[in-house]
Amino acid sequence: MNLENTYSPVNSLFSKQLNLSDFSFEKPAVKKIKEINKNIKPNKLFKFIKYVFKYSKIVLNKYSSHFSKHDFTQPVLFTLLAVKIYTRSTYRQITDLLELSDKIQKYLHLKKVPHYTTLQKFFQRLPTSILQELNKQILLNHQINGEIINLDGSGFTNDYAEKYYAIIRRKERKSYVKNHISIDVESRLILHFAAQRGPRFDTRFAIAAIRNIKKYNPKYILADRAYDTEPIRKCINEEAKAQDQIPLKTRAKTGHYRLKSKNKFNKKSTQEETM
C-alpha cells in the first residue's frame, strides 16, 4: 500500500503562501498608490510637493509654539495636508503612503512618520489668515489674465470615517469647513477665497468676492445655479462691469438681469454681440 502523498501542495493549498491580493484584496496604502500612479504621474506629484513645501516655508513659522514637541515642522504638516487633498486621500492613507515613500520622507527631512491624528489636529488649528497669505505669495509670482473668473464653494472635513459608515451609524457630521473660492479659468489660480464653518449658502460670500476680484477686470463671471439671485447679477454687471454667466433657476420670473441672462455660455457669440 502506497502511503506517499501524491497531491501537489500548490493545488491543495497546503504550503502555498497566500496574501490579500489572492483574494482580490489589497492593503489600503498599496491600492491608493496604484490609483495615484494611474491618475497622477509620480514626477508630477513630487513636483507638487516641492512647490507647496517651498511656499509654506515662506508663510509658516517652523513651529507653532516654543513649547511644542518639535517633532514635525508646520511647513511639513501643511504639505502633507495639501497632498491629501491633491490625491483625494484620507488622513490615514496619507500616513500609510508616507511610510512607503523614502523619497518624500528624505525630501521633507522626516525622522518618523506623523500619526494621522496629528494632521487632523493641525488642520483644526490652521488659521484662515495663513492660507490667505500663502495664496497672496503665489499670485505675486504669476501673471493673471482674469478674463473669465469662476465662483464656487466646496466643503472639507477632518473626519476619517467613510461616508457610508457615518450614515449607517448616524454619526454623519452636520458641520464642516466651507471654502468659497474665485478662480481664474485660464491659469486655475485662486484669486480670492473665504473659509467659514458650514453649512452655509454660497451666496453669502459671492458679493464680497465679486468686489474683491473686480480689480482683475474680468469680462465674464461664471457660477452655478446656486448663485442665481438678482443682487449677485447686479453686482457683476454694475460694479465689476462684467457679464454674468449663471444658469437660471427653474422658476425665475423676476429681476432685470436675471430675465435677460443667457441659458448657455458661448464666448464667441457674446463677443460678436458686444462688437
User: Model confidence over 164-176: pLDDT tens digits?
Assistant: 445 555 555 555 6
- Determine the topology of domain 142-264 in CATH: Nucleotidyltransferase; domain 5 (3.30.420)
145 band by pLDDT with thresholds 50, 70 and 90: confident
18 pLDDT above the threshold of 60: no
**pLDDT for residue 14 is more than 50:** no
Q: How confident is the model at residue 35 (pLDDT cuts 50, 70, 90)?
A: low
pLDDT at 235: 93
| H or E element at residue 154 | strand 148-156
pLDDT tops 80 at residue 21: no
Work out the average pLDDT over 102-116. 91
CA 229 to CA 248: how far, in whole Å? 9
- CA-wise closest residue to 274 among 222, 247, 237: 237
Residue 20's pLDDT is 43
146 by Cβ neighbours in 10 Å (0-12 / 13-18 / 19+) ranks as buried
| Average pLDDT along the chain | 77
* Residue 123 pLDDT > 50: yes
pLDDT at 183 over 80: yes
pLDDT number for residue 269: 53
Please state whether 88 falls in left (phi above 0), alpha (psi between -120 and 50) or beta. left
Domain boundaries, the chain: 26-125, 142-264
Q: Give the helix ranges, DSSP H, for 171-260.
A: 203-213, 230-234, 256-259
Q: What is the DSSP letter of 101?
A: -
More confident residue, 271 or 183: 183
For residue 40, the SS3 value is coil
| pTM metric for this prediction | 0.65
Tens of pLDDT along 40-72? Answer: 666 888 899 999 999 999 999 998 888 788 889
